[in-house]
Amino acid sequence: MVGQRIRQFWTRYWGILLLLLIWQLVVAVNNLNTIVAPSPKAVLLALINDAEFFAIEAARTTLTASGGLALGLLLGFATACLSWTAPVLSGLLTPAALLIRSIPVVAFVPIIVRVSGYGTHTVLIVTTFLTFFPCYVFALSGFNDVTQVRKDFCRSVGCSTKGISGWRFFRYVAMPSAVPNILTALQLLAPTALLVALVAEFLIGSDGLGYVMIRARSDMQMDKSWAAALLASALSVAFFVIFSQLDKRYRKTWQS
Amino acid sequence: MAADEKGTSSIVIEEVRKRFELTNGQSIEAVGHVDLEIAGGEFIALIGPSGCGKSTLLRMLAGLEQPSHGRISIAGETPEECIKHHDLGIAMQEHGLMPWLTAKKNVALPFRLAGLPVDEDRVDELLNLVGLQDFAEALPKQLSGGMKQRISIARSLVLRPRVLILDEPFGALDAVTRRLMNNELQRIWSQKPTTTILVTHSVEEAIFLADRVCLMSPRPGRLALIEPIELERPRKLETMQEQSFLNLLAKLTAALDEVCMPEVAT
Amino acid sequence: MRPVANSSKWILGLGVLFLGWEIAGQQEWLGKGLPPISAIVTYALEPRSYELLMRSAAVTATNAIWGFIIGSMIGWSIACSGQIWPALKKGLDTLSTFVNAIPLIALGPLLIVTVGEQLTPMTTASLAVFFTVFVAVLGGFERLPSVHHDVIHTYGVNRWRALILVLFPNALPSFIDGLKLGTSAAVLGAILGEWFGAPAGLGVLIVSSMQNFQITLLWSAAFLGTAMSAAGFFILVIVQQKLLPRFGW
């Protein structure tokens, strides 16, 4: 039983363990100074010694990332609702949304920083802005995903399936149909939201893990900088895992 | 008029044609000149080869398509008006249940979509009628194919329609379940005979259920034969073994083969 | 997802977007941070800024293209390795997912030490690309109907041959889809990587112009980055349309 567990763990996580091992080996073999490249152990120690500091910074980053994600989702969803009733709006927004999806927006965070100024609020704005468009596209395509049979059924009970007069159809059929799409959007966007928050913190330099990463480096505290990076990665993986679990759990219901 | 007192409706189909415009500028005639009068409370089965325009005719009856020519009236109303008054129920081969709603909520959905207060008693009554009261809280994916179709039929009946439209509702079921469902449908229908039009591929099913079987020939779809079925009701599964049933089956199958033959030949 | 909107809608939407932008810029609705498009274009075409922009774009393009090539090769190899050595598949999948979940920006401090500031942009670009390609190829493999797997199995085809003869051709469309997504990922990776002390590139330009309030330069650099990823995208769209039909897709 235990042996089986270990084997399962091994087949799943050997790659990650290997990565850690290589890191430790490279540092040990080259006899690198901690200022150049800290070993896994040094990074872990830095994390533990400054646990409280890192916890606060991590909480800040998590809060802005999830706040931005929630806001972007809400706004994207609301705009998609409006678009559904007024196709003109979708004609205007969809090209912009797809354009934004095909360009490396994260790299242009500096522009938003420039427009809205330095400060924590900008981090939130940036995260919201970047999650807004994908949420909008996913939600809208979810609303339009209702099968013909379901539409026919709705029309047969005297319910319009288009425009304002179709609001009951929207409320009871189109909106619930979009749930799997929204779950996918969340799963894809959760790590992105965190990345964007980190990038904004990195550039603005107010607080949060992104800032710690760059600040510690300029102070020559490599272990601290790497610790922040590692913590950020762990957070990102956690975000991903949480939302893919959520997706797994609720998607089943939608498969008839 | 209280919903309970709603009667059944006679249907008049007059010189109905349906022409579809194709993208290349041509058009095809899916339904060409159909005349049919259906009495209130009558059960009509529509059979015919694939692509003969059965489903198009059905969709026109359900107000989902407009006839290019001719007129359909349901108790003096157009199908659209009929829909507005919630006098129409449909169930299709694809059940179209909402996967996120329980069986009970699926049955109650027409009330919500029509903007009416949900009549819980009516919903329970229908779940009882289709024999799924114990599965009220189950999600569609937890139900078998036959159960899903029963829920779909319950859903189509919940607003007390005066006309019931069924498009191959049992088409996706296995032969045994299908027969059981035929028996079920007859039972449900005979409790309160609603004017019903059933499209089916199965001649057996058509004879078992209908008062009249209409055979459609393809390209363009026309009624080639209308056969009254004078078997005594309630019909039982054993009825299917009786000589009178078998005679009808032989006759209609031969007629169906005949309208199909030109297709085979080409 | 459904194919979205028709071309007239697109032109209308983009027209309104650009017009609104121009007006907002002229009227300074969003302050000095959002200059009108005309100002950005004029600035970018001035000889001095033009040269600076082109030089930086060339650096970023090189980083992005190398990153794109290396990243897609890695993504492709990992996906294939999982097919050839099934025992490794789970571990490789998990590793790839985890590496992908690591924010690129968090890798900066590690990379400048391990590969150096010069190579960091290329590395981040390839890291950004590898996962999209990996997922796409894997998706392509999994799209194979199980009947084909049965055929492969019953004929006792060895894994290498199966990969070359059946699995890979079958995954080709999805591979190219992955490459399409990979173009913007490559540009993004290159630009982010250049933030960590690279000597030149659009990324350097973007950050320095942000810090020095050179708004039009900032926008011009962003425009170039966009144009770059769009160009890559359209090249692949053409490849997809010309090449795939030859393989019977």
Contacts of C70 (CB under 8 A, 6+ apart): C122, C126, C129
Residues A142 and A192 in one domain: yes
Q: In total, how many domains does chain B have?
A: 1
Same domain, yes or no: A83 and A188: yes
Helices A222-254, C86-101: crossing angle, 10 deg rounding: 110
Task: State the best of C19, C81, C105, C187 to mutate against chain A, taking most chain A CBs within 10 Å.
Answer: C105
Instruction: Name residues 74-113 of chain C within 8 A of A (Cβ).
Output: 87, 90-92, 94-98, 100-110, 113
Shared domain check, A25 and A132: no
Q: Are residues A1 and A98 in the same domain?
A: no
CB within 8 Å of B241: residues ≥ 6 apart: none
pLDDT tens digits, residue range A50-100? 888 999 999 999 999 999 999 999 999 999 998 888 877 877 777 777 777
Q: Judge whether B89 and B72 are in contact, CB under 8 Å.
A: no
Domains of chain A: total: 2
- Amino acid C149: pLDDT: 66
Cβ of C19 under 8 Å from any chain A Cβ?
no
Instruction: Judge whether B51 lies within some domain.
Output: yes
A18 shares a domain with A91: no
Are A48 and A23 members of one domain?
no
Q: Where are the alpha helices (DSSP H) in A86-178?
A: 87-101, 109-116, 120-143, 148-156, 167-169, 175-177
pLDDT at C62: 94
Query: Is residue A43 within 8 Å of residue A23, measured between CB atoms?
Result: no
Q: C14: buried, middle or exposed (CB in 10 Å: 19+, 13-18, 0-12)?
A: middle
Distance CA A86, CA A91 (A): 9
> Residue A235: which CATH number?
1.10.3720.10
Same domain, A121 and A179: yes
Half-sphere exposure of B52 (CA within 13 A, CB side): 23
In a domain, B118, yes or no: no
What range defines the domain where residue A11 resides? 1-31
What are the residue ranges spanned by the domains of chain C? 45-247
The amino acid that residue A254 corresponds to is: W
E strands, chain A, in order? none
pTM (2 decimals)?
Answer: 0.78
CB contact under 8 A, A222 and C113: yes
A44 and A25, same structural domain?
no
Two structure tokens written together for B17:
């044609």
What the block records as the tokens of A243 is 């939302």
Q: In degrees rounded to 5, what are phi and psi of residue B12? A: -120, 120
Please report whether residue B38 resides in a domain. Answer: yes
Q: Tell me the per-residue pLDDT of C207-239, one tens digit each, with 9 for 90 and over.
A: 888 888 888 888 888 888 888 888 888 888 888
Question: CATH number, domain at B14?
Answer: 3.40.50.300
In chain B, which residue's Cα lies nearest the Cα of A171? Answer: B113
User: How many Å is the Cα radius of gyration of chain A?
Assistant: 23
* Same structural domain, A178 and A239: yes
* Local confidence pLDDT in tens for the 266 residues of chain B: 333 345 667 888 888 888 888 777 788 878 888 888 888 888 999 988 877 888 888 888 888 888 888 888 888 788 888 888 888 888 888 888 888 888 999 999 988 888 888 888 889 988 888 888 889 888 888 888 888 888 998 898 888 888 889 998 888 788 888 888 888 888 888 887 888 999 998 888 988 888 899 988 887 788 878 888 887 878 888 888 888 888 888 888 888 888 877 655 44
* Domain housing B39: 8-87+203-265
Q: Are residues A184 and A59 in the same domain?
A: yes
**ipTM of the complex in this document:** 0.82
pLDDT over 70 percentage in chain A:
96
Instruction: Say which CATH class C45-247 falls into.
Output: mainly alpha
Cβ contact B–A (≥3 pairs, < 8 Å): yes
Cβ–Cβ below 8 Å for A153 and B94: no
Return the structure tokens found at B155: 């859903």
Question: Of A98, A233, A239, which is closest to C106 when you measure between CB atoms?
Answer: A233
| One domain for residues A9 and A68 | no
Q: Say if residue A20's pLDDT is above 70.
A: yes
